[in-house]
């Protein structure tokens, strides 16, 4: 058994594809790492790393890698997580390697309903549950899949526990689900855009998480336009410039700002609080993430 980290907290960040959830997850993780004396861990799920591309830095894999100050990065696949879990108990690496190199077992891991998702969540919650190898982080931020896949991921432990009502699989699945519905252990962040489709998906996911897990997610509206001119200044341009590119662009900005505000107000009316994150055009990755961090409140 590993050490139980009773004060560990996990933040799941999700949103419709293209809303900037991964970058905002990095901003949240960086801010947490700067506010805590112990390192924070930012985890990607899958077989390839977005952050390797963003930071032009190789070497992000299953074992956490320190990237900046108190912030570590990791990339978890279901196979890696399950292999690490089995190795922790068997203690014989050659036997574990033989087991996982078996094509039948590899196929089973990939196709067994819910097993991949429970394996990933089992790793994420292992420190809180005191199971498997140690995960010594005060904060863990999970760059989760997009909305529909994220919900399937979170639902998997409960579904598996209902299939396996007795035995270790059912017991551990229930324990994972108990962590997910504990607001003192897990929090959820949904990233949206001030556009119709992301807004609709965000609101649907918000209600599903709140109803099924009893935890109220935080919603951030990302990439909001913040032009250097105020709306009154743009209206002044329209009044003085009747024709030409400047007038047309001023009208475009005014219309866009109005549409964005309508989408944000609809979300606020339904969920209460919505964090507003401006469109940041800094090309230097760390500077971009630091700037975004000024607009997030992780807990």
Answer yes or no: is pLDDT of 90 > 60: no
Query: Which has more confidence, 87 or 82?
Result: 82
Please choose, from the candidates 213, 1, 6, 40, the residue with its C-alpha nearest in 3D space to the C-alpha of residue 128. 6
Q: Where are the alpha helices (DSSP H) in the chain?
A: 21-35, 50-54, 78-90, 93-100, 103-111, 115-124, 126-129, 147-163, 168-180, 196-213, 231-240, 245-271, 285-293
Q: What is the per-residue pLDDT across 188-231, written as a single tens digit (0 to 9) for each?
A: 999 999 999 999 999 999 999 999 999 999 999 999 998 887 88
Q: Measure the CA–CA gap between 225 and 263, rounded to whole angstroms.
A: 13
pLDDT value of residue 253:
87
Q: Where are the domains of the chain?
A: 9-225+284-293
CATH architecture designation of domain 9-225+284-293: 3-Layer(aba) Sandwich (3.40)
Q: Is the pLDDT of residue 31 over 90?
A: yes
The residues, ordered by sequence, that sit 6+ positions from 97 with a Cβ below 8 Å of its Cβ are: none
* Residue-level pLDDT at 87: 65
Tell me: the pLDDT tens digits for 112-136? 668 889 889 999 999 999 887 788 8
Q: What is the mean pLDDT of the chain?
A: 88
Predicted confidence at residue 149, as pLDDT, reads 94
Q: How much is the pLDDT for 89?
A: 59
pLDDT band at 80 (very low <50, low <70, confident <90, very high): confident
The pLDDT tens digits for 133-168 are: 788 899 999 999 999 999 999 999 999 899 888 888
Mean pLDDT of 231-238: 79
Adjacent-strand bridge partners of 274:
219
pLDDT class of 243 with cuts at 50, 70, 90: low
Q: 262 or 80: whose pLDDT is higher?
A: 262
Query: Could you tell me the pLDDT band of residue 95, with boundaries at 50, 70 and 90?
Result: low
pTM of the model: 0.91
Phi, psi of 243 (to 5 degrees): -135, 165
CA-to-CA distance for 220 and 215, rounded, in angstroms?
A: 16
Percent of the chain with pLDDT over 70: 88
On whether the CB atoms of residues 145 and 45 are closer than 8 A, the answer is yes
pLDDT of residue 138: 93
């Amino acid at each position: 058994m590993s050490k139980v980290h009773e004060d560990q907290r996990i933040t799941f960040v999700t949103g419709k594809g293209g809303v900037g959830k991964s970058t905002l997850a990095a901003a949240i993780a960086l801010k947490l790492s700067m506010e805590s004396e112990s390192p924070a861990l930012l985890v990607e799920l899958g077989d390839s790393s977005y952050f390797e591309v963003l930071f032009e830095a190789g070497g992000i894999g299953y074992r956490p890698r320190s990237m900046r100050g108190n912030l570590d990065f990791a990339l978890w696949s279901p196979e890696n997580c399950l292999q690490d879990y089995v190795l922790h108990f068997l203690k014989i690496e050659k036997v574990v390697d033989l087991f996982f190199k078996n094509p039948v077992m590899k196929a089973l891991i990939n196709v067994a309903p819910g097993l991949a998702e429970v394996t990933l969540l089992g790793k994420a919650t292992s420190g809180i549950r005191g199971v498997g190898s140690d995960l010594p982080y005060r904060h863990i931020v999970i760059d989760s899949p997009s909305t529909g896949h994220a919900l399937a991921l979170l639902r998997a432990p409960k579904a598996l526990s209902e299939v396996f009502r007795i035995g270790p699989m059912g017991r551990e699945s229930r324990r994972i689900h108990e962590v997910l519905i504990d607001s003192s252990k897990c929090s959820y962040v949904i990233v949206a855009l001030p556009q119709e489709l992301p807004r609709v998906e965000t609101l649907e996911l918000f209600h599903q998480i709140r109803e099924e897990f009893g935890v109220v997610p935080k919603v951030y509206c990302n990439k909001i336009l913040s032009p250097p001119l105020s709306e009154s200044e743009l209206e002044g341009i329209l009044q003085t410039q009747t024709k030409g590119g400047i007038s047309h662009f001023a009208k475009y900005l005014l219309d866009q700002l109005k549409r964005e505000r309508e989408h944000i107000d609809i979300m606020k009316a339904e969920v209460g609080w919505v964090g507003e994150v401006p469109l940041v055009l800094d090309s230097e990755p760390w500077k971009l993430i630091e700037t975004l961090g000024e607009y997030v409140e992780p807990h």
